[in-house]
Amino acid sequence: DAGVTQSPTHLIKTRGQHVTLRCSPISGHKSVSWYQQVLGQGPQFIFQYYEKEERGRGNFPDRFSARQFPNYSSELNVNALLLGDSALYLCASTLDRGNSPLHFGNGTRLTVT
Amino acid sequence: AQTVTQSQPEMSVQEAETVTLSCTYDTSESDYYLFWYKQPPSRQMILVIRQEAYKQQNATENRFSVNFQKAAKSFSLKISDSQLGDAAMYFCAYRSYSGGGADGLTFGKGTHLIIQP
């Protein structure tokens, strides 16, 4: 079975632009979470989606938004990019909304210039 | 809010030796999960081991074991018979038991583990 897949692998954007990152969960997984990992730090929680609804949100500005589609895939959108948004963005999926283990993808490396 | 602290930015160990990575955390909750994740250069976060706070027995997965001290809020990872493939960043993480994971995982800053051949 395929694991969590994220696209694109790498992305370079300019300050002020908008970016969309995509994530496909493991087949059968209904929950998707997004994390931001700045270089040299641990990942920080951005969002959790379950059954197409936002169930949790970390301490991130409104420039960050996400959605989950009927097939449980997800998009993370970031508007008005700042240099500080440069990071590895990780997607993780779980079987349900409970306490199942998280399975992470390989991430999207976003560079803002 | 919960915090997770990893005080060792980098650790080095000889192949086949044993190494212990430290982690402390702060929480007011009584029920929670603790995790160790491994992140190799491929960037994927890989679950190494998981501990439920209500379980007194320390979790073990093959060469990996933890020393969970709930009162001291300490959660260290011991890697026995270190192998070259163990080289990676290791992150300690916390998750509340309630809320269905809606608060996400709280990660430490990580420990870079180097394996000397």
Distance of alpha carbon B113 from alpha carbon B115, whole angstroms = 7
Q: Is any Cβ of chain B less than 8 angstroms from the Cβ of A9?
A: no
Over residues B17-37, mean pLDDT: 95
Instruction: Look at residue A86 in the predicted model and tell me its pLDDT.
Output: 98
Give bridge partners of residue A24 from the DSSP assignment. A5
Backbone phi, psi, residue B54, to 5°? -80, -10
Chain B hits for A2, Cβ within 8 Å: none
pLDDT, tens digit, 9 for 90 and up, residues A20-67: 999 999 999 999 999 999 999 999 999 999 989 999 999 999 999 999
Identify which of B45, B47, B50 has the shortest CB distance to residue A90: B45
Mean pLDDT value across residues A12-22:
98
Which residue's structure tokens are 């998981």?
Answer: B50
pLDDT tens digits, B51-79: 999 988 999 999 999 999 999 999 999 99
Q: Do the beta carbons of residue A29 and residue A104 sit within 8 Å? A: no
A97 and B CB contact within 8 Å: yes
pLDDT band at B19 (very low <50, low <70, confident <90, very high): very high
Q: How far B81 CA sits from the closest chain A CA (Å)? A: 26
Contact with chain A for residue B91, Cβ under 8 A = yes
Question: What is the distance in angstroms between the Cα of A8 and the nearest Cα belonging to chain B?
Answer: 14
> Under an 8 A CB cutoff, do B103 and A44 touch?
no
Q: What is the mean pLDDT of residues A87-110?
A: 89
- State chain B's mean pLDDT as an integer: 94
- Residue B7 pLDDT > 90: yes
What contacts 24+ positions apart, CB below 8 Å, involve A104-107?
A: A104/A4, A104/B44, A104/B45, A104/B46, A105/A3, A105/A4, A105/A5, A105/A6, A105/A23, A105/B44, A106/A6, A106/A9, A106/B42, A106/B43, A106/B44, A107/A6, A107/A37, A107/B43, A107/B44
Whether A25 contacts chain B with CB within 8 A: no
Q: Are B77 and B36 in contact (CB under 8 A)?
A: yes
Q: Say if A31 is an interface residue toward chain B (CB within 8 Å).
A: yes
Q: Is the peptide bond before A8 cis (omega within 30 degrees of 0)?
A: yes
Cα distances from A7 to residues A23, A76, A104, in angstroms, run 7, 11, 13
Torsion angles phi and psi, residue A47, rounded to 5: -145, 155
